[in-house]
Each structure stands twice: as structure tokens, then as C-alpha cells.
Structure 1
């Protein structure tokens, strides 16, 4: 294979991943070919060819008579396999169940993915709570919500500021999150050791989260609770934080800095 063929192969892969990302962002509604062409900037022939290949490999699904593409079943298989083995999710599953039983709240496990915070597991309370990330696999920019603040606030200052700069335009749909407000939230979170949202982002719903660190790798995620705002009394906050910090302290020694799955998403 010559250099030109290699570059074409990489370009094709990049385009396929871009289309997968666009379909994933559309959720259960999916996206039609026209919309995917407009969003991706690809011409109709190229876009259609890549989409057909993704459908053939079951990475995308398109029902007969339906114009929209949706994520395929092969991705469910990949996701299930990725969730097993080493990593945060496996180590923290017993802790998530204990916290749900002890608090009666929805428990969230978040992991850093470059400039985002991704929900990699959640154990719902008796009443399913609305969250910023939605279901497992949902993500938010670092800086939005207590789960991501608990990660961002404990990253080294230079990297932290670079992330804030890159993410700020993505946070503009929340007008209350000005640059000064974000900086204040980061400083407050770092100062007290946990992130707290009393209910400023989702009406009536707040949350509290603590960072998860790995020696030699820094902050890799956060453990948090999503709570009805009236339940976030000072007494409950302190109790929740103590319970979560205890669980994190028990798990952190089991997290290896050599586990590439903890480090790969932090670049």
C-alpha cells in the first residue's frame, strides 16, 4: 500500500467515525441522508457509500422504507464488551449499589474523555431522575454539572484553563455559566474537595460529586449523586460526601496507573 492509499484509508475512517458521531448525537430519531450530508459536508455519493458500508457492518441500522439512519446492534455488542474487564465501571459497581441503598438517590459514575465527562454507569433511585448526561454513554463538556466539575477542578491549572477555553463556546446555551462563574465554581470545588450543584442547571434537581484519582494518572473520573434540590441540606451534603469519599478511598488503590483504559481518554 502506497502513501496515497494509506491517506485515503485514514480519511475514509475519519469520515465514517464522523457519521457515526452525528447519528449518535441525533438519538433515537436518527438522521436522514440529506441531514447527514449537510452536517458532515460530504457530497451525497460519498456519504451514501459510507453509510451503506456502516449498515452492512451493522454499525448503523436503516429499516426498510425508513429514511433515517440509527445506531446499529454491533455497537451494543462493542459497548458491552468495553464495559467488562479492567476499568472504572467494574471496580465501582459494588460501590454504586451500596450508595443507592444507603442514600436512596441516583448514583452516577463519570469518566473523563478528553474535554468531556461521560456517564459510564448509573444506578437509579426509586424515581428515575433527569440528568444532564441522560442515560449511560451520555456526555457533557467538562465544566457543566457537578460530575464534570469534580473532574475539571482537580486537573493541573494549565490544562484546566486550556479546557475551559476550548469548552466555553459549548456552554453558551447555559447563559448563567459565564467565564467568571465557571472559574468561581472550579475554585470552590477545588477548595472544598467536592462539586455541588444546588439545582441551578436543571429545575428542582441538584447533585454532589467527588473526584476519582489514580496515582500517576491524576483525575480519571468522578462519583456523584443526583438529588432533588430540597434534599441537598448541609447535613445531607456532608453525609453524601463522606459516603462517596469512603467508597472512592476503598477503590482507588485498585486502580492501576498502567491501565491504559484509564489514561487513553485523558489526552
Structure 2
């Protein structure tokens, strides 16, 4: 293969991944060809060709007559395969099930992925409720939501500031997350040892999360509970925090700093 052909192949892959990222960020609403062209800077012909290829490989999904592209089913398969074996998801699955049974709430496991927090597993309660990340695989920028704050607040100050700066434009979509308010939220989380959302981000939905640390790798994720905010009071808060911390304390020693699945997100 010539150098030029190799470079073209890498460029094509980069463009395809960029388009997948944009579609993923759009969530269930998806994005139109026009929007993807504007976001990526690609011309319509090139963008359409790459999108069609991604649809053929089931990495994207497009219903006949629908103008929007959404994530495809094959990504769910990839995600399930990636989660097998060592790593956070396998280690925490019994804990998630116990938490759901003990509390009746939705238990969620988040992992850090660069400047984002990704939901890698969740055990839902009997109540259908909206969450910031949606289903497994959904992500939010670090700084948005208790699961995310439980990660961000326990990184060093320099890392926090760099991430907040990179995520600034995305966080501005949430008017209540002004820089002073977010700074106070981070400080409160670091001081009390857990993140708490009483229902400010999604009215009626509260959340509590604690960080997951690995020796030699730092904070790699968070374990949390999401529930209806009318259930929240001091007793419930302290009980849920104690349950979460107990589960994390028992599992953290089992997480190896040599596990590349934990370190890849750093």
C-alpha cells in the first residue's frame, strides 16, 4: 500500500469516527445529513458516502423516509463484547443488583472516558424515569450530573480546570450550571465524599453517587442511585451513601491498576 493510500484510509476512518461522535452526542433525536455536513465541515457528497457506508455496516441506522441518522444496533453488540471480561462492569454487576434490591431505586455505574462520563451499566427500578445519560452507552460531559461530579470532584485541581475549560461550551446548554455554581458543587462533593443532585438538573429526579478509585489509576468511575426527588430526605441520603460506599470499598481492592480497560479512559 502506498503512503498516500494509507493516509487516505486513515483520513476516511477519522471522518467516519467524527460523524459517529456527532450522531452519538445528538442522542435519540439523531442528526440530518445537512447538520452533519455543517458540524463536520465535509461536503455533502463525501459526508453522504461515509454515512451510507456506516449504515450498511449497521453502525448507523436510518429509517426509510426519515432524514435523521441514529446510532446502529451493531454498536450495542460492540459495547456488550467490550464490557465482557475484566473491568468495572463485570466487577460491579452484583453490586448493582444488590443496590436495586435493597433500595428499589435505579443503580447506575459510570466510567470516565476522557472528558466525559459514560453509563456502562444500570439496573432500573420499577419506575420509568428520565436520566441525563439515557440508556447504557449514553454520556455527559464531566461536570454534569452526580455520577459525573463524583468523578470530576476527586481529580486534582489542574485536571478539573482543564476539563471544565474543554467542556465549557457543552455545559453552557444547562443555564443553572454557571461557573460559580459548578465550582461550589465540586467543592461540596469533594468535602462530603459524595455527589448529590436534589432534582436541580431534571425536575423531580434526584441522584447520589460516590467515586470509584483504583491505586495507580486514580478515579475511574462512579457508582450511584437515581430516584424520585420526593423520596429524598436526610435519612435516605445517609443510608444510600453508606450502601454505595460499602459496595465500592469491597470492590476497589479487586480492581487491578494493570487492567488496561481501566486505564484506557485516562
Q: Which moved more, 1:27-36 or 1:163-172?
A: 27-36
Q: Which residue of 2 aligns with 1:196?
A: 196
Q: Which residue of 1 aligns with 2:211?
A: 211
Cα distance in 1 for residues equivalent to 2:26 and 2:205: 25
Q: Which residue of 2 aligns with 1:245?
A: 245
The superposition leaves residues 143-189 of structure 1 with CA deviations (integer Å, 9 ceiling, x where unpaired) of 11111110001111211111122222211122221111111111111
The superposition leaves residues 20-54 of structure 1 with CA deviations (integer Å, 9 ceiling, x where unpaired) of 22233344444343332233221122112212322
1:64 Cα deviation from its structure 2 partner: 4.7
**Structure 1 vs Structure 2 CA RMSD:** 1.7
When normalised by structure 1's length, the TM-score is 0.93
Q: Judging changes above 3 Å, is the alpha-carbon distance between structure 1 residues 163 and 30 closer, same or farther for their aligned structure 2 residues?
A: closer
The superposition leaves residues 204-258 of structure 1 with CA deviations (integer Å, 9 ceiling, x where unpaired) of 2111110000010000000011122222211111111111101001111111111
1:56 Cα deviation from its structure 2 partner: 3.0
Give yes or no for the alignment of 1:142 onto 2:142: yes
Q: Which residue of 2 aligns with 1:126?
A: 126
Q: Which residue of 2 aligns with 1:254?
A: 254
Q: Which residue of 2 aligns with 1:179?
A: 179
Q: Which residue of 1 aligns with 2:40?
A: 40
Cα distance in 1 for residues equivalent to 2:140 and 2:209: 15
1:2 Cα deviation from its structure 2 partner: 3.9
Q: Judging changes above 3 Å, is the alpha-carbon distance between structure 1 residues 70 and 182 closer, same or farther for their aligned structure 2 residues?
A: closer
Aligned partner of residue 257 in structure 1, secondary structure = coil
Cα distance in 2 for residues equivalent to 1:174 and 1:23: 20
Cα distance in 2 for residues equivalent to 1:97 and 1:69: 34
Is the 1:106–1:128 contact (alpha carbons within 8 Å) kept by the matching residues of 2? Answer: no
Q: Judging changes above 3 Å, is the alpha-carbon distance between structure 1 residues 185 and 62 closer, same or farther for their aligned structure 2 residues?
A: closer
Q: Which moved more, 1:180-189 or 1:46-55?
A: 46-55
Is the 1:194–1:209 contact (alpha carbons within 8 Å) kept by the matching residues of 2? Answer: yes
Give yes or no for the alignment of 1:115 onto 2:115: yes
Cα distance in 2 for residues equivalent to 1:111 and 1:29: 24
